[in-house]
């Protein structure tokens, strides 16, 4: 039996780090489980070139008495107060003698599961070197050579400019930065940025670094061309289309919150996000939520929410309420960001009948047109039933058809059979292999 943690945090991004550090500094036995081998999440993945604030938080996290389960992915909640995690495949492969499953017992749970990019299908989007904006950024941070490569960055949201800036700093030639929203649509967000000197300075520095690149609004990719890899991208702005040569297309249409674990635990969702009160408590007793699953708001808000959730879970309600007042002041920015990233309805017309929507199961758009919802699509086409479990095609289907995922069932990710075959078998991965 594992020792019971006072507070378990799922996710080691900014919100999870803030929650775990705050809980540990309150004198509680805190633990964090995350599927990456290093803390920081997608935004603080690399220790190099991090802003000073990020370095301070990571230093506090490294110094805190937090039990860390890095490289473990939560796949199930077998009973109240327990989550089951599986070691990542890469970790199992590198150490066949390692345990492949662990059950983590907790008294309070803080969900900080983050978000993922939204992808929209268009002709050629499955070509090699057509990637998510954040995905390409992560690969470059991991060592992918980008110097001298021609890159188009497209989609919507502040991530585009941040990614373009990082790639340009690594020597990439940013051919164009294409934002699907109009200037009028982004005006409320710009007003909120003007009221926040830190964000204004950050945005100005990003634009200075990418000053040689075309930055276009009301613009998006309509097709990608190539043979064994991407060669060019056709862009559209208003009624004009043109093609540019490039080596990479970094394309992401804002973010989709990762709410599957919250749904499995019975937390109420509202408009696609985990519903919380002002102290970040969900509708499920003993469960809090912080960061992107409760609303896309950026790093500063995630850090604030992580602290609020941990303080509230620790019973320090007064301190939590003081930070909650600061959070209320940040909510207008969140609403402005949501409005600025609202997708243009014309993007629904990008995919053709033969365009693949579900990449895992090779399901084209024409196979989905007459389906009535997720369940119908799964039964007739297997859309969303591949290894990603609808995490890629799900956001696209929601935008294209208005479909919403139904009930969530374990495992949340593809899992080893040994993870469900009893405690003795779970400790012997050499005799239990992954199911086909």
Asked whether 156 and 120 are in contact (CB, 8 A), the reply is no
Spell out a b/e string for 212-225, using b for 16 or more CB atoms within 10 Å of the CB, else e.
Answer: ebebeebbbbbbbe
Q: What is the pLDDT of residue 424?
A: 40
CA distance 298 to 332: 13
Asked whether 229 and 146 are in contact (CB, 8 A), the reply is no
Q: What is the pLDDT of residue 47?
A: 58
Residue 139: in which H helix or E strand, if any? helix 133-141
Structure tokens at 178: 């294409």
CA distance 171 to 145: 9
> What is the rounded (10 degree) CA torsion for 211, 212, 213, 216?
60
Q: What is the pLDDT of residues 139-198, one digit of tens each?
A: 998 899 999 999 999 999 999 999 999 999 999 999 999 999 999 999 999 999 988 888
Structure tokens at 11: 């996710």
- Residue 136 neighbours by CB under 8 Å, 6+ apart: 144, 151, 163, 167, 248, 250
Across the chain, mean pLDDT equals: 91
CA distance 382 to 380: 6
CA distance 68 to 71: 9
CA distance 333 to 335: 5
Within 10 angstroms of residue 122's Cβ, the number of other Cβ atoms is 22
Q: What is the pLDDT of residues 333-383, one digit of tens each?
A: 999 999 999 999 999 999 999 999 999 999 999 999 999 999 999 999 999
pTM over 0.75: yes
Instruction: Give the strand pairing for 150-156 and 72-79.
Output: unpaired
Q: What is the pLDDT of residues 210-254, one digit of tens each?
A: 999 999 999 999 999 999 899 999 999 999 999 999 999 999 999
Q: What is the pLDDT of residue 376?
A: 95
Residue 141: in which H helix or E strand, if any? helix 133-141
Asked whether 234 and 137 are in contact (CB, 8 A), the reply is no
Q: What is the pLDDT of residue 5?
A: 97
Asked whether 343 and 399 are in contact (CB, 8 A), the reply is yes
% pLDDT > 90, the chain: 78
Asked whether 251 and 137 are in contact (CB, 8 A), the reply is no
Asked whether 91 and 109 are in contact (CB, 8 A), the reply is no
435 pLDDT band, cuts 50/70/90, is very low
Measured N-to-C along each axis, helices 197-209 and 159-169 cross at an angle, to the nearest 10 degrees, of: 50
Of 245, 251, 186, nearest to 218 by C-alpha is 186
CA distance 239 to 250: 23
User: Region 49-72: what's the mean pLDDT?
Assistant: 91
Q: Is pLDDT above 70 for 432?
A: no
Identify the three-state secondary structure at position 171. coil
CA distance 244 to 233: 6
User: Region 68-80: what's the mean pLDDT?
Assistant: 95
Q: Is pLDDT above 80 for 420?
A: no
Residue 308: in which H helix or E strand, if any? helix 299-313
Structure tokens at 101: 């499953």
DSSP secondary structure letter of residue 416: B
Of 297, 254, 236, 298, nearest to 156 by C-alpha is 254
Q: What is the pLDDT of residues 377-419, one digit of tens each?
A: 999 999 999 998 899 999 999 999 999 877 788 999 888 887 8
Q: What is the pLDDT of residue 2?
A: 59
């Amino acid at each position: 039996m594992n020792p019971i943690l006072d507070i378990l945090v799922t996710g080691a991004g900014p919100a999870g780090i803030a929650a775990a550090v705050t809980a540990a500094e309150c004198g509680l036995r805190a633990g964090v489980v995350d599927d990456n081998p290093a803390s920081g999440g997608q935004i603080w993945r690399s220790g190099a070139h991090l802003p000073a604030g990020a370095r301070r938080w990571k230093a506090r996290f490294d110094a805190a008495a937090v039990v860390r389960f890095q490289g473990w992915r939560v796949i199930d909640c077998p009973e109240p107060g327990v989550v089951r995690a599986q070691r990542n495949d890469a970790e199992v492969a590198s150490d066949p003698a390692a345990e492949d499953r662990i059950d983590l017992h907790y008294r309070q749970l803080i969900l900080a599961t983050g978000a993922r990019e939204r992808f929209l299908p268009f002709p050629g989007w499955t070509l090699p070197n057509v990637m998510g904006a954040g995905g390409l950024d992560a690969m470059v941070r991991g060592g992918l050579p980008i110097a001298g490569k021609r890159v188009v960055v497209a989609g919507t949201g502040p991530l585009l400019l941040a990614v373009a800036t990082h790639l340009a700093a690594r020597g990439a030639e940013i051919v164009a930065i294409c934002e699907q929203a109009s200037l009028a649509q982004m005006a409320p967000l710009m007003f909120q940025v003007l009221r926040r000197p830190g964000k204004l300075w950050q945005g100005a520095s990003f634009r200075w670094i990418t000053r040689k690149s075309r930055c276009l609004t009301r613009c998006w990719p309509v097709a990608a061309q190539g043979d064994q890899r991407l060669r060019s991208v056709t862009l559209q702005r208003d009624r004009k289309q043109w093609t540019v040569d490039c080596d990479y297309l970094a394309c992401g249409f804002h973010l989709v919150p990762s709410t599957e674990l919250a749904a499995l635990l019975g937390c109420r969702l509202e408009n696609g996000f985990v519903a919380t009160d002002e102290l970040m408590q969900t509708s499920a007793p003993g469960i809090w939520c912080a960061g992107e699953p409760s609303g896309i708001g950026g790093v500063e808000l995630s850090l604030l929410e992580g602290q609020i959730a941990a303080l509230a879970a620790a019973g320090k309600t007064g301190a939590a309420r003081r930070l909650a007042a600061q959070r209320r002041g940040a909510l207008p920015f969140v609403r402005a960001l949501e409005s600025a990233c609202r997708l243009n309805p014309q993007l629904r017309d990008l995919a053709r009948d033969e365009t693949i929507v579900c990449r895992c199961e090779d399901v084209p758009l024409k196979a989905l047109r007459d389906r009535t919802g997720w369940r119908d699509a799964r039964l007739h086409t297997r859309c969303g039933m591949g290894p990603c479990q609808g995490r890629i095609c799900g956001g696209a289907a929601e935008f294209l058809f208005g479909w919403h995922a139904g009930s969530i069932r374990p495992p949340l990710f593809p899992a080893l059979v040994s993870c469900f075959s009893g405690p003795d078998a779970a400790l012997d991965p050499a005799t239990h292999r992954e199911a086909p």
